[in-house]
């Protein structure tokens, strides 16, 4: 197999399929091509990969240090791997537009999700370009949100799932504050950086105004012209830039089984430098 990395865009807005790569043994050239494709397309997809968990982790380490999610059971082998499994006794709950772990002070750079078992029909994942979401806002809205800070809270999603009270969870993972519009640290682009899963309110704004404004901002991800949609097969991988896009796991397959494994790359503290502000 040559070092070439063929790339096929999925939509004009976001996403690309990458072929001719065995992720168990990637060259330095291929890693740099994958990194460049991630920055350009925000989410990239691979088919017919046969990575075990250790190889999945090794591939992810090419792009940075790895996180361990609080939903990972203590003592699990390969704690860097987050298991996401649903079936007859567990309906999927990831069906809301979100960026991963924005409740962290330093949210993730990106995630690499591998399909282990998928339903015959359904269980697709959708991705939305939040750079374009920002670009398409009116000048009035851009002026209103530029320089603003939003609060992100793990308890909105995980208090029930982790069997901890909201106060206990926030003591362990304090509320985080991030700019409503962040600057992508590698591309320099402005990104709309609030999501319905974890963003509670805009700081120093009247609560009713904050709620109404956030509702409008959350809806931007629903625009099909900003999206791509990926149909999973066993051995498929998706690698997305959590700093630039949001995703939505369609939970339309119940009671069929869907089992995924995710490895997440640690990121940096979001910031806004104003260089692309309207």
Q: For this structure, is 52 an active site residue? A: no
Predicted pLDDT of residue 1: 47
Whole-structure pTM value: 0.95
- Is 273 inside a domain boundary? no
The answer to whether 203 and 148 have CB atoms below 8 angstroms apart is yes
Single out the catalytic residue among 86, 152, 201, 262: 262
Q: What is the pLDDT of residue 93?
A: 86
Contact 10, 43 (CB under 8 A): no
Give the pLDDT band (50/70/90) at residue 32.
very high
Q: Does the structure show a pLDDT above 60 at 103?
A: yes
**Banded model confidence at residue 274, pLDDT cuts 50, 70, 90:** confident
Mean pLDDT of the chain: 95
Q: Is the pLDDT of residue 164 over 90?
A: no
Give me the number of domains the chain comprises.
Answer: 1
Q: How far apart are CA 21 and CA 225, in angstroms?
A: 29
Asked if residue 191 is part of any domain, the answer here is yes
Q: Is residue 276 part of a domain?
A: no
Asked whether the predicted pLDDT for residue 156 surpasses 60, the reply is yes
Does 194 map to a domain? yes
Q: Give pLDDT tens digits for 244-269.
A: 999 999 999 999 999 999 999 999 99
For residue 49, what are the domain limits? 7-265
Cβ distance 49 to 62 under 8 Å?
A: no
Which of 98, 104, 189, 243 is flagged as catalytic? 98
Section 3-28 average pLDDT: 95
CA distance 3 to 8: 16
| 98 classed as catalytic | yes
Read off the pLDDT of residues 52-68 as tens digits, 9 standing for 90 and up. Answer: 999 999 999 999 999 99
Residue 101 has pLDDT above 60, yes or no: yes
Could you tell me which of 123, 103, 128, 102 has the C-alpha nearest to residue 113? Answer: 123
CB under 8 Å to 86, separation ≥6 — which residues? Answer: 92, 93, 251, 253, 254, 257, 258
- Which residue out of 100, 104, 153, 243 is catalytically annotated? 100
Q: Is 39 among the domain residues?
A: yes
pLDDT, tens digit (0-9, with 9 covering 90-100), for 109-152: 999 999 999 999 999 999 999 999 999 999 999 999 999 999 99
Listed as own residue / partner, the contacts of 36-39 with beta carbons closer than 8 Å and 24 or more positions apart are 37/5, 37/7, 38/110, 38/239, 38/240, 38/241, 39/186, 39/187, 39/241
The answer to whether residue 276 scores a pLDDT higher than 70 is: no
Q: In this predicted structure, what is the pLDDT of residue 278? A: 45
Domain of 59, CATH number, reads 3.60.130.10
Residue 226 phi, psi dihedral angles, 5° rounding: -105, 5
Planar angle of CA 183, 189, 194, nearest 5 degrees: 55
HSE value, Cβ hemisphere, 13 Å, CA-based, for 90? 10
Concerning whether 184 is annotated as a catalytic residue, the answer is no
CA angle 97, 258, 87 (to 5 degrees): 105
Asked if residue 209 belongs to a domain, the reply is yes
User: Is 178 a residue of the active site?
Assistant: no
Q: Taking Cα atoms as reference points, which of 152, 139, 137 lies closest to residue 242?
A: 152
Residue 274 lies inside a defined structural domain of this protein:
no
Question: Alpha-carbon distance 83 to 159, whole Å?
Answer: 18
**Bridge partners of residue 106, in order along the sequence:** none
**Residue 98 located in a structural domain:** yes
């Amino acid at each position: 197999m040559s070092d070439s990395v063929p790339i096929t865009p999925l939509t004009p807005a976001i996403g690309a399929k990458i072929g001719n790569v065995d992720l168990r043994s990637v060259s330095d050239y291929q890693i740099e091509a994958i990194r460049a494709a991630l920055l350009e397309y925000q989410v990239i997809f691979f088919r017919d990969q046969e990575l075990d968990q250790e190889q999945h982790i090794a591939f992810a380490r090419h792009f940075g240090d790895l996180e361990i999610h609080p939903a990972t059971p203590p003592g699990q082998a390969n704690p860097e791997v987050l298991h996401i499994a649903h079936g007859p006794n567990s309906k999927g709950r990831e069906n809301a537009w979100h960026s991963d772990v924005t409740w962290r002070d330093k949210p993730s750079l990106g995630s690499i999700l591998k399909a282990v078992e998928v339903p015959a029909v359904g269980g697709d994942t959708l991705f939305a370009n939040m750079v374009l979401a920002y670009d398409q806002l009116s000048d009035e809205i851009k002026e209103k949100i530029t320089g603003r800070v939003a609060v992100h809270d793990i308890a909105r999603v995980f208090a029930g799932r982790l069997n901890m009270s909201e106060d206990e969870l926030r003591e362990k993972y304090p509320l985080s504050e991030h700019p409503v519009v962040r600057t992508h640290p590698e591309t320099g682009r402005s990104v709309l950086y609030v999501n319905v899963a974890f963003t509670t309110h805009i700081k120093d704004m009247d609560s009713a105004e904050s709620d109404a404004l956030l509702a409008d901002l959350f809806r931007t991800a629903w625009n099909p012209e900003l999206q791509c949609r990926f149909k999973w097969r066993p051995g498929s991988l998706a690698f997305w830039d959590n700093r630039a896009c949001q995703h939505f796991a369609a939970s339309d397959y119940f009671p069929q089984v869907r089992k995924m494994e995710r490895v997440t790359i640690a990121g940096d503290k979001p910031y806004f430098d104003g260089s692309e502000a309207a």
